[in-house]
Each structure stands twice: as C-alpha cells, then as structure tokens.
Chain A
Amino acid sequence: MAEGAGPMVRAEDVHKSFGRHEVLKGVDLVVERGSVACILGPSGSGKSTFLRCINHLEKINAGRLAVDGVLVGYRERRGKLYELNDRQVASMRQDIGMVFQRFNLFAHLTAIENVMLAPMKVRQIAKAAARERARSLLDRVGLAGFEDRYPAMLSGGQQQRVAIARALAMDPKLMLFDEPTSALDPELVGEVLDVMRDLANEGMTMVVVTHEVGFAREVGDAVCFFDEGIVQEQGDPRTVLAAPSNPRFAAFLSSVLS
C-alpha cells in the first residue's frame, strides 16, 4: 500500500512477548488518518507495550504492524522480512512523535534546547531557524517566556507541554501519547489535555493511551479497550462508553469513574 492513502496505523494480529510472558496476544487495530484513537485498559493489559511497538521501541514477535502503509521495523522483499538497521529505524521514527508518561525531557538542556535538538541534529536545520520554530512551538503550548528554564525548574504539566512541543518540532504525521497525564498532580492534568485537544482539532492523527475517560469521550474518534493483551471492544466513544457490551470494560469504566 502506498503512503498517503489508507489508514495511518494498521495492526493485524500483533503478538509481543517478554521472555515467556506474552503481553500482546493478537491485537487488531486500525487508526484512520486525522483521527484520535484512545486506548483504555487496566495496567498490565498491554496498551503501553502496543503503543511502543508502533515506533519500534519494542519489537513485535508475530503479526503485521504498519504506519502509513509501511511496515514498522522491517522491510519486505519477495515474501521475506529484513530487519531495518539503526539508520533506517531512526529515519522511520522521525515522522512519529512520542510523549511519555514521565516526560523524559533532556535534563541537561533548557526547554528551548530540548525542542531544538532533534531538528538541528537529525533534520540538519540551521540553529537560528530551529530556535525560531521552537519559540513558536513553545508559545503554542502556552510556554512563551519559559524558553531558558531547565526541566527541573518546570512543573510536571509544563514539562509535559515542552515534551509535546519537542515532538511536534519534527513535524510528525502521527503522535503517540503514553499515559501523558498519569504522572501529573490533578490540578495540572487540564493544561496538558487542553494542548492535546487543540492538536486533535488541528487534525493531527493521535494514538492516546490514557485513563482520562472524559478526554476519550470528548476528543476521541475511536475508543478501544485493552485487556489480557487483546482489544476486547472498540468503537465510537459516545456509544461504547455509554453502553459497553464487554462486561470487563463495564467493570473497568465503573471503577475508573467512581
């Protein structure tokens, strides 16, 4: 399948094991271009692992996983799979932004240097241009004036917004969010969700692993419920969240919402 057509992410019967422990037991999932897919599920259900497979931070053991019509981590020629090397994997990841639960900002760099690093060193953009772009991205996530702060001098919510700006600086076609608000104090969750909501409204394709059912209902175009390593239920958030057919999903929702 050619780039630019078809779904952004297509997973078919994806399996992943750590040693003998199988975490993903056959995940089927499609994320349409320009849509927001929210993944819900109890801890240990494999939802974060699946997200990390999408940009090859984890290698899948079986099945097919493609982003924008291109296999993740492998190249297929004459029915044979070839593993991609370091350079090829890095080049694939440039177009997929990722935001982590624990922010993972580069601790030795200021906010603006965090945003500038990859465009300068990976995309070879001139320093002045990278700085200009980083400044406008930080402004966009509401952090104008915080350019020269080190991560340790920022609140969790501010750090996560810098992390989003850092990912956006590479102009990704797909953004992955791995529980972006789980490590935040409750009063800081809103500011990060606001930035994500704006991003979704601008048409960014997003896969969001989250516990924020409200966000999934309001912003998500699709919701899927992970449990025991497979997608137990998926569909339109308004219908699925209102009346889950899977009993475990119903139990999960009532425990999260109470």
Chain B
Amino acid sequence: MTQQAGSAGSEPTAPRQRPEAIRAVPVRHPGRWVTGAVLLLLVAMIVHTLVSRVPNPTGAKGEVWRFSWNEVGSYLFSPSIFPAAELTIWLTILAMGVGIVGGVIIGTMRLSANPLLKGIAFLYAWFFRGTPVLVQIFFWYNIASVYSSPVSIGIPFGHAFWFADPNKVITGFIAVSVLGLGLNEAAYMSEIVRAGLLSVDAGQIEAAQSLGMRRLLTLRRVVLPQAMRVIIPPTGNEVISMLKTTSLAGLAGMIELYGWSQAVATRTFQPIPPLITISLWYLFMTTVLSIGQYFVERHYRRGVAGQSPGTFTELWAMSIGRWGRADYAVAAAPATVEGRG
C-alpha cells in the first residue's frame, strides 16, 4: 500500500486507458414477438376482408368488391362532393372563428377582477359545456319558432332602432355554424385560454408593469404571446375535432360531407360507399390540418430551452417509435440519431 502511494506520488502517472466498451447480450423480449405476430395476423385479416370479393348481390354474373371500391372511386371526385367539402370547411372556419374569439373573451373574463364578469363567464361555460352540442344545434335551428314576430334592437323596454325577422336572419347555416357549434366551442376554448393565461409567470406581468406598461398592453405584448405556447396545441386539436363535429350539421339538413353521404345513401340504398368516401375526405383534411398545426406550434415555441421541436419527420418518427425501442431522444437530439446509424 505505502509502496503504491509512494510510486504514484514520485513518478508521472501514465495516461489511463479507456476501458473497453461493454458488449453484453441484450435482454430478449419474446412477449413483443408474440404480440407482434398476433397483431400482424389481425391486420392481415382486416386487409383481406377489405379487398375481398363477393358474388354480385344483384344476381348478375361475376363478383364485386365487398366494400364497393368501384363506387367509392367514382364518388371520391364526383362533382357533387366538392361543394359539400367546401361547406364543411366553411362551417369549420366560422365555428372556430366564433369559438376562438369568444373563448379569448370568456377566458379573459374568467380571470377578471370584476366579480360580475367572472360570474357571467362561469355561467356561460357551465351552460354550454353542460348541454349536448347536438341539442344546442337543433335548439338554434328552431329558435325562430319562438320569435315568430320581428325582433327589435334598441333601448331596453324603450325605443327600437332596428327590426329584424328571425326567420331571415337565423338561416340554417348561421344557426348551425355560428350559434350551434361556435357558441359551444367558445365555452371549451375559454378553458384553454384560461389555462394558457394562468401558465404565464406572475413575474412577467410585474416586470411589464414596472416598465410602465398598462394592463391591456401587458396582456397583448407579454402575456398572450407566452400563453400561446400553451393555447396553440389544444386549439389545433379543437380545430381538427371541429372539422369532424360539423358532420352534425348534416342532421340539420345541410349538405356538407355527412349530409351529402346521406343523400347519396338514400338515393342508392347503399350507405357504406359514400361513408367510406367522406371518411377519406375527412382523413385528408385532418392530415393537412395537423401538418399546419406543427408549423404554428414551432413558431410559438421560440425562446423555450430544451424544447427544440425538431423537424416534422423527426416528430413523426418519435410518435411512431421504432421497432424494439421507444426512443424519445429522437426529436430532442437529431445528431445522435445519425451517429447511431
């Protein structure tokens, strides 16, 4: 012992060799192979039934696709589906427009110092989140039956400046998009906005105030931009969700994608082909939206450490994962992925 200590002190220490890299037999995962095989079998069965053929139900000779792919192919880009898809998009835009603007207003009111504003905002969210959106749509669709005589706008219980016939103002489109879907969405968006505003550190507000910034300026230039980071991802989900929820408008007689499919189904007595067709349209539109969502999120993530969003393909790779390892470092450190080969 003493000898070793002496030699270490007197002689220059030799540079230490790096130990050999560990080469161990990796843990085997038989369970993964079994579940993988079972699932693969199920997928193969589904694919098989999707592309299987059956005897022609009309009694004619030959076979047809079980899932009527010929009809789906002819519907997919038929002239009548484009206006339906356009209406779906407009319903989504209007409903989300009302939802976002209303949500910012209601959400900000929820955090107001004024107890009256706070209470009204709470009641609003309570009512619109507590009743089904389908019920709300039909309620607004039929609201004109309650106001059959012209409605006036003016001094309460006094002189009226403007008259309107509810039957003309509240058309089906407005009833469904703005009132039915929009007002309901505003209630949900208000919760998202509220969470976003609360996520901003109080120190940010104090710093802005200490610089002489007024309340509204602080909200606009300091709080909202930072709240966006929290608000944007769930809002993207809301947009995608709304695109699909607009199918309820079909029940109120509008010829958007779902309404179109029902019209075709009643004409041909074949409900499945148009349903498959609009599913493909919905899938296409939600995919486009989720790509857009990625770029908007990246914009609002500026200045946040350790949250480099990575490229779109990296995020995609992360969500899909890789065979045999859940590698969440993929998006955070793209360089190491290349290094590993």
Residues of A within 8 A of B (CB): 55, 57, 86-87, 90-98, 100, 102, 104-110, 117-118, 121-122, 150-153, 163, 166-167, 170, 176
Contacts and interface: CB of A to CB of B under 8 A. Distances in A.
Interface stretch (B4-12, B267-275, B298-306): B298-306
A13 B248 CA distance: 67
Contacts of A92: 212
A28 B204 CA distance: 30
Contacts of A94: 211-212
B213 A121 contact: yes
Nearest to A154: B305
Contacts of A122: 211-213, 217
Contact of A118 (B212, B225, B305): B212
Nearest to B227: A108
A96 B209 CA distance: 11
A151 B222 CA distance: 14
B203 interface: yes
28 contacts: A57-B209, A87-B214, A92-B212, A94-B211, A97-B210, A100-B206, A102-B203, A104-B204, A104-B206, A104-B207, A106-B207, A106-B222, A107-B304, A108-B229, A108-B303, A109-B303, A110-B303, A117-B211, A118-B212, A121-B213, A122-B211, A122-B212, A122-B217, A150-B302, A151-B303, A152-B306, A153-B305, A170-B211
B214 A98 contact: no
A107 B201 CA distance: 10
B305 A55 contact: no
> Interface residues of B toward A: which range?
20 to 34
Contacts of A167: 210-211
A100 B205 CA distance: 12
B202 to A, nearest CB: 9
Contacts of B225: 108
Contacts of B203: 100, 102, 104
Nearest to B212: A94
A118 B213 contact: yes
A152 B213 CA distance: 23
Contacts of B306: 152
Nearest to B202: A104
A96 B211 CA distance: 8
A38 to B, nearest CB: 20
B215 interface: yes
A90 B201 contact: no
A101 to B, nearest CB: 9
Interface string B296-318: 00000011111000000000000
B66 interface: no
B116 to A, nearest CB: 18
B221 interface: yes
A96 B213 contact: no
Given A93-B211, A122-B211, A57 B217 contact: no
Contacts of A118: 208, 211-213
A112 to B, nearest CB: 13
Contacts of B293: none
Contacts of A121: 213, 217, 221
B226 interface: yes
Contacts of B302: 108, 150
Given A87-B214, A107-B304, A108-B303, 5 more contacts: A86-B214, A92-B212, A106-B204, A108-B229, A151-B303
Contacts of B214: 86-87, 90
A114 B225 CA distance: 13
Contacts of A152: 303-306
Contacts of B212: 90-95, 118, 122, 170
A166 B226 contact: no
Contacts of A95: 212
Contacts of B229: 108
Contacts of A91: 212
A151 B226 CA distance: 13
A168 B303 CA distance: 23
B211 A166 contact: yes
Contacts of B222: 106
Interface in B206-261: 206-215, 217, 221-222, 225-226, 229
Nearest to A122: B212
A90 B209 contact: yes
Contacts of B213: 90, 118, 121-122
Nearest to B301: A108
Q: Which are the 3 A-B pairs with shortest beta-carbon distances?
A: A94-B212, A152-B305, A150-B303
A104 B223 CA distance: 12
A57 B210 CA distance: 8
B211 A100 contact: no
A105 B303 CA distance: 11
Contacts of A87: 214
Contacts of B204: 104, 106-107
A93 B302 CA distance: 29
Contacts of A150: 302-303, 305
B215 A107 contact: no
A97 B213 CA distance: 12
Contacts of B303: 107-110, 150-152
Among B207, B215, B229, B304, the one with the most A-chain Cβ atoms within 10 Å of its Cβ is B207
